[in-house]
Every structure is written in structure tokens, then in C-alpha cells.
Structure 1
Amino acid sequence: MTSPSTSTPTALVVGAGIGGLAAAAALHGDGWAVTVLERADAVEPVGAGIAVAPNGLRALDTIGVGDRIRALSAIQGAGALRRPDGRILATTSGDAIRERFGDPMVVATRASVVEALLDRLPAGALRLGSAVVDVDPGDAARPAKVATADGAAYAADLVVAGDGIRSAIRGVLFPGHSAPVYAGFTTWRAVVPAPAQAGSTLGETWGRGQVFGAMPLTDGRIYWYATANRPEGEKYADPRAEVLALFGDWHDPIPELVGAASPRDVLHLDVHWSATPLPAFHRGRVALLGDAAHAMTPNLGQGGNQALEDAVDLAALLANRGGDVAAALPAYTALRLPRTTAVVRKSTRMGAMAQWHGRTAVALRDRALRLSARLSPDTAIKPLDDVMAWRPVARA
């Protein structure tokens, strides 16, 4: 069993997703000896793309990679929210987001963000093929311990659980708590070459229970995503064909974007969310973050950004308390649980409106969006004020 050092504080981070890697990088920067345990045999770019919002960029600034991600920004000019026939319901722009929140919305591949975070870790910190199956949270007098499927055991002053929506650690710490529930819709994602008229692809299109979005990447490609109301658990032999069947008659260039993807490169995932918040984001010496703590729908694009907030706030609270885990983790719950619960609920409300299916309800929704856009050009981004205005915990 690997034991914690008596001189250097030790942390085990479970999960090499964006939140876990950010926590590992932040803690390493504060002098912790960090080990990241990842169940997969390779760090894969699951999710294809990610929107790093101004709040996420501020979190990355504290780790030292904010400007590296800002350099990936490709959004220029006006974006639009449209109907399937192409009619514009509302518009916004990258400049409006920058002016309102002080930073752009950066759409990047997940691989780019993961690579930037991995570069902040020391050699050997990441251990692949290490699936954590059990945890002893420890207490003020003894370390936390984790066990992996291959029989290895580790002990540390702190365990950070970033092991995702089906978190094994959450299940051990809160065995009676309900798991994330199905949101009623599924998603497809892909990255494809940009068509000739790439500018016209910027934004989202809302239909009856269906959404299609497309954003440019700095390397000239397009990241697209689609959602549709579907029963939970459906599998598709050819996910691209399914997306074409759903969106093939929508405005250009949506059919072209879908057709440009290889069937094997279209990622399909059902959407789940934490309908019932956890009673705490910690137990003993274990802290949960990201989807393991507060799974949310993708409608605000905040899943990864909230995980980044979790990571840097956790590190700052520990630093401000001299590494005293027993004192810092209750403060972490008190800070992060109310905020993320509010963001989860806001995202769910947005998702519910986007997935309306009834003809009358959709017509009324579209009319309201057009009217509000005429009255206020910032209609599309005003609801994000309390989300994107976040600032990291000040360090003492």
C-alpha cells in the first residue's frame, strides 16, 4: 500500500477528466504530491468538443493555462438561434460575450484542454488502467484509502473523486442517494471539416424536441452536436444515419455537416442529471467534483466549466487553511453545493424549453424568443450573468 508522506501532503485524484486533471494540476502547483488514477487504458477525447466559458477561463488562469486555451478561440462575428427552416429567432456575438463577461467563449476540442492540463503535471503522475472500486474516506486522524480493481491499494491525505456520472466513490460514500436520472433526450457529437460557408453554421437551431448546434474550431474544423427526445438506452448501429434521418431536412449546412462525419466518429450519449442534490460534496478526506458531484444537462455548456470551478476552489480553500483537509472540505461543500445546484437547475430549465415538442408550445416559444430579441439584443446571454460572472476563491 502506498502511504502518505509525513512531510509533503499527498492527494489521489480519481478520474482523468477535465475536472480531475484541473484539481491535480492546481494541487501540484501548491506543493502536493499528486497521483491521478484513471480507469481507461488511454486518455481519450470523449465528448469531441467543449465550450470553455469565461468562468472556466478564469479557473484555468489559476492553473496557468488560461491563455493557452484563449488562443484556441475561433468564434467571430454574429451567432444565431434559428428555426429548422433557417429563420433567425435571436442573435448574439462573441464580442457581446467578451464585453459583458470580460472573456470570450472558447470552443475547443476536449483533447486540447486535456493536453494543456496534463502538461502541468509531473511525469509519472497519471496511472492508466487503474479502476477504483472502493474507498475508505478516513477522518481527521487517519488517511483516506482507495482500492483498485487490480488489487492495488493507496492511502493519501486527500482523495478527489472526479470519476464521472457513474461515480463508484459517490456510491460508496452516499449509498442511499439516488443516482443521476435520465433527462429525456440523447445526444450526438462530432468534429468535421468546415464547409465553404462556415460562418453560416455558427449557433443553434431549435425544432420540435430537437436541437442542432455547430461551432467553429481554430484549426478550421467544425464541432457539431445534436439532441433529440428519445427513450433511454436506445443503441444505433449507424449513429450518423440516425442523425441524418432526424436533421436531414433542416436548413443548410446542417445536412452537409452531419454527412461529413464518419459513422465511427459520431459519439452518442444519453443525458442524465442530478435531480436530487447530494447532502454534501465531501465525506472524511474525500471531495467529489464535476459529474461525480453534480451531473447536469449540456444546455448551458457548463458541465466542464463547473468542474473547473470545483477544482480550483477546492485547491484554494486547502491552501488558505494550510492544507488542513478536515477544515477545508466542509468549506468546499458550503461554497460549491449551492452554486452548482443552481446551475444544474438552470441548465435543466433551459433544456426543457429547448426540447418542447408540441406544435403550439414550440410556436409560442419561438414567438417569445423573437420578441425578446427585438426588445433586448443581449437576450441570449443575459440569463448567464450569474453563471459566468464567477470569480475563483481569493487566496490568503
Structure 2
Amino acid sequence: MNEPHAVVIGAGIGGLTAAAALHRAGWRVTVAERAASLEPVGAGLAVAPNGQRALDTLGLGDPVRDQAAWQGSGGLRTPGGRWLARTDTSAAAERFGGSIAMVHRATLIDLLAAQIPQGAVQLGVTANLIDPGAGDRQAAVELGGERVAADLVVAADGVNSAVRARLFPDHPGPAYAGFTAWRIVVPAPDMPFVPHETWGRGEMWGSQPLKDGRVYAYGTAGVPEGGRSPDGEKQELLRRFGSWHAPIPQLIAAAREDEVLRNDVRHLRTPLAAYHRGRTALIGDAAHAMPPSLGQGGNQALEDAVVLAHHIATGATPVPDALAAYTRDRLPRTQQIARRSAQAGRATTLRAAPAVTVRNALIAAVARLGPGLMLRSMDGIADWRPPGPGAGGGPYAASSRSDGTGG
């Protein structure tokens, strides 16, 4: 019997994870990526305990932990430097079975790509869905002008997914979330500092160390969609955040103009009714793009990929039925997380002084009541475990090192 064939559109985190999981399950995979290389456009990635457990199913949890910087002490500050809340890593590890592992996206991309057979990833290739497939009819994809049949198509083509538009032509597509994000990766400053997020009036900044001695930093601001700074994005960052507490000005000063990434944050404000049609499945941002406010976009893509492979792997049910089970598993969870992410994003874009004062007072009051209350925002998210025999142990179980001791 011939190996079933899956075409994965998009070689980001979700696409490569799906390809690796399907290959591990005995599928022949072709990954189509329109970019000329796998070098990711992005910076740091906070792999939460749920994302680490997804990677454990591929044997990649511990390699990621080995190359991660572990989110230790830190917390939430005001632009003047006052601490509103401090993090408690031990409480997070006890509650969720692990803590945050901060890695560069390129690190994870390299680990995932190494799990896929040589030649399976086609770079610089445009992929177009011709036929999503149905029942016994295979799907069809145009790859670089050639029609390719597939038993399964996995669309991991991002927030502006062309496959999503093909499957759901009446869906309005992504909407502006109300804020723009800047990201940089720079050498660590010559001063001690701890990981933090700093919330101001309509603006937010975060600084997270990476294991290689650099720092991943990001800022957001509630500004009109489509804007660009006439004198460069570094100057825009200095204008907005240059008077904030250390090390924020020092990190911005260390960045080159061409290293500053600026992107409007877009999300699927209108949820999809399903994450599949026929033999074609959507994963990651193509299915449920969400604001980055809870740090779950990449983690949910990891979950999607291993849950999809779990339903497809046995071959005991037809692919369309397996994809229907995938939708039933993933749609309620991811849409709830997307709603919570949007709510968290709105909290960082408050501009009116009275509203900001109330917000900060509430955060400080909750922090004084103990770490448990602060961690509740991640209940039902970071404690997720993959489906299958490992729900209580076995190959899907979390590594014993998911408590952060491996970093």
C-alpha cells in the first residue's frame, strides 16, 4: 500500500510541526513555502508548558528546553519602573507543570526542519489550493505550476491565508486588533535586569533574555492601522519608549534600523465555523489568528499540529471524518483563547488616565493576594496535555524536565 501523501502549505512553526508529526505517523509529506529560505521573520517565542508538551510528542521538548532561557523572576511594571506585580516561577510550575521557555524562533524552526525528510520542503514555491477534496476524492494543489494530488492538505499559511479564503469565501477575513507591534533582538545591555512587561497609557513594552546572551524585546501601541514612521521605526521606538525605565532605552539604542520589525496586529475577530473542508485543514493563524497578548499564538499552532496528526495517524477513519474530529477538538478551545487574548490586548491599549489608574490598582491588588490569582488567566491554557495514550503517561506525557530545570 502506498504511503498517504500530505501537502503542507507554509513552513512556519505550525506547518513544520504538522509535517514532522505526520511524517512520524507514516505519511509522505511535501511542504511548500513561498519564501526562499526557512529563516523566520520574527524574533523570540515564549514556549509555554502546553507548547512544550506538544513538542514532547515529537521528541523535541527536551531539545527546546536545552536551548531555552527560562522565565524566572520578573513581572509587570509601570513606565517609571514601579513594580505592579512580580512573577513566581515555582507557583507557575506547580500550577501548570512547567514554566515559560524563551527561544529564538530560528532555534525551533531548525529543530522542526531536522525532523522532516530531506527534499520534502520546497522553498520559493507558490502553492494554490485547486480542490479541497471530499470523501474518496483526493485534494489537489498547484505547486509551482504543477498539479499535485494529496490525501490531505494542511494550510498553515498565516493570518492572511489564501486557503481559508478559498474554503470560506463568505468569511470577512482578519481585522485590525487595534494596535501595532515592534520587535527587536539585540545584545544584552551591560546592566542587570530581569524579564518584565511594562504597561503605560496605550503602550506596552516587554524585555525577555535569550540563552545566547541576546534580548528579545517588543513594544505595542494603539495607533491607526497602516502607519509608518517617516524618520524610521527606531526613532519611533525612542519617541514612544525612550523615557521609560532601564533597560528599555538601552535596548532600543542597541538596535539597527533594519533590525526593527513593525507589524500591525491582525486577528480573526469573526470566528470560523470549522477548521476544515473535505480533506483540507487549517492550523495556526490560518484558523484562529489571535493577538499576542497571552503569548499563545505559536503554542496553539503547536497544539493544532499534534492534535491533527493524532486524529489522522491511525488511518482507521476516512480523512474527512478525522478532520471533523480535529475541528471538534480544536475549535472551542482555540476560539476561547482567542477571545481571552483579545480582552488582554484591550487592557494594554487603555489610554485614559483614570482607566489606566484603575487598571494598575486592580493588578497591584490582585498581586498582593498571592500568585495563584495572577496565574488564573492561564488556567485551562498552559495546563493542556495532548490527546492519546500519553494523557496520563507514555509517549504523549510531558517530560519530567518541563518544570524548567533543563534551561
TM superposition shift of 1:7: 1.6
The alignment status of 1:21 with 2:21, answered yes or no, reads no
Work out the CA distance in 2 between the residues paired with 1:48 and 1:261: 13
1:379 and 1:241, CA in 2 relative to 1: closer, same or farther beyond 3 A? Answer: farther
Q: Residue 204 of structure 2 aligns with which residue? A: 211
1:137 and 1:167, CA in 2 relative to 1: closer, same or farther beyond 3 A? Answer: same
Farther off after superposition, 343-352 or 380-389: 380-389
TM superposition shift of 1:291: 0.4
Q: Residue 344 of structure 2 aligns with which residue? A: 350
Q: Residue 3 of structure 1 aligns with which residue? A: none
TM superposition shift of 1:46: 1.3
The alignment status of 1:158 with 2:152, answered yes or no, reads yes
Q: Residue 226 of structure 1 aligns with which residue? A: 219
The alignment status of 1:12 with 2:7, answered yes or no, reads yes
TM superposition shift of 1:76: 5.3
Q: Could you say what secondary structure the match of 2:227 adopts?
A: coil
Work out the CA distance in 2 between the residues paired with 1:138 and 1:154: 12
Q: Residue 139 of structure 1 aligns with which residue? A: 134
After TM superposition, the structure 1 = structure 2 runs for residues 52-131 of structure 1, keeping only pairs within 5 Å, are 52-75=47-70, 77-131=72-126
Residue of structure 1 aligned with 2:179, choices 181, 185, 188? 185
Q: Does the CA-based 8 Å contact 1:212-1:226 persist in structure 2?
A: yes
The alignment status of 1:315 with 2:309, answered yes or no, reads yes
Q: Does the CA-based 8 Å contact 1:281-1:288 persist in structure 2?
A: yes
Q: Does the CA-based 8 Å contact 2:205-2:217 persist in structure 1?
A: yes
Residue of structure 1 aligned with 2:281, choices 287, 301, 304? 287
TM superposition shift of 1:393: 1.1
Output one character per residue of 1:107-129: Cα deviation in whole Å (capped at 9) or x when no partner: 11100000000010000010011
Aligned-partner residue type, residue 204 of structure 1: E
Runs of at least 5 residues in structure 2 that lack an aligned partner in the other structure: 391-407
Residue of structure 1 aligned with 2:33, choices 31, 38, 41? 38
Q: Does the CA-based 8 Å contact 1:320-1:395 persist in structure 2?
A: no
The alignment status of 1:250 with 2:244, answered yes or no, reads yes
Work out the CA distance in 1 between the residues paired with 2:40 and 2:163: 23
Q: Does the CA-based 8 Å contact 2:203-2:222 persist in structure 1?
A: yes
Runs of at least 5 residues in structure 1 that lack an aligned partner in the other structure: 1-5
Q: Residue 372 of structure 2 aligns with which residue? A: 378
Work out the CA distance in 1 between the residues paired with 2:129 and 2:97: 43
Q: Does the CA-based 8 Å contact 1:240-1:262 persist in structure 2?
A: yes
Work out the CA distance in 1 between the residues paired with 2:63 and 2:316: 29
1:220 and 1:96, CA in 2 relative to 1: closer, same or farther beyond 3 A? Answer: farther
Residue of structure 1 aligned with 2:256, choices 228, 251, 262? 262
Work out the CA distance in 1 between the residues paired with 2:118 and 2:229: 40
Using structure 2 for the length normalisation, give the TM-score.
0.93
Aligned-partner residue type, residue 393 of structure 1: P
Q: Does the CA-based 8 Å contact 2:179-2:264 persist in structure 1?
A: yes
Q: Does the CA-based 8 Å contact 2:71-2:101 persist in structure 1?
A: no
Work out the CA distance in 2 between the residues paired with 1:82 and 1:382: 19
Work out the CA distance in 1 between the residues paired with 2:317 and 2:57: 17
Work out the CA distance in 1 between the residues paired with 2:387 and 2:76: 34
Work out the CA distance in 1 between the residues paired with 2:40 and 2:350: 31
Q: Does the CA-based 8 Å contact 1:40-1:130 persist in structure 2?
A: yes
- The count of aligned residue pairs is 389
Q: Identity of aligned pairs, percent?
A: 51
Q: Residue 319 of structure 2 aligns with which residue? A: 325
TM superposition shift of 1:197: 2.6
TM superposition shift of 1:352: 0.5
TM superposition shift of 1:240: 1.1
TM superposition shift of 1:135: 2.8
Q: Could you say what secondary structure the match of 1:280 adopts?
A: coil
Q: Could you say what secondary structure the match of 1:275 adopts?
A: coil
Work out the CA distance in 2 between the residues paired with 1:301 and 1:369: 19
TM superposition shift of 1:36: 0.1
Aligned-partner residue type, residue 218 of structure 1: K
Please provide the CA RMSD for this pair.
1.4
TM superposition shift of 1:321: 4.5
Output one character per residue of 1:208-265: Cα deviation in whole Å (capped at 9) or x when no partner: 0000001011111110000001111112352111111100010111000111111101
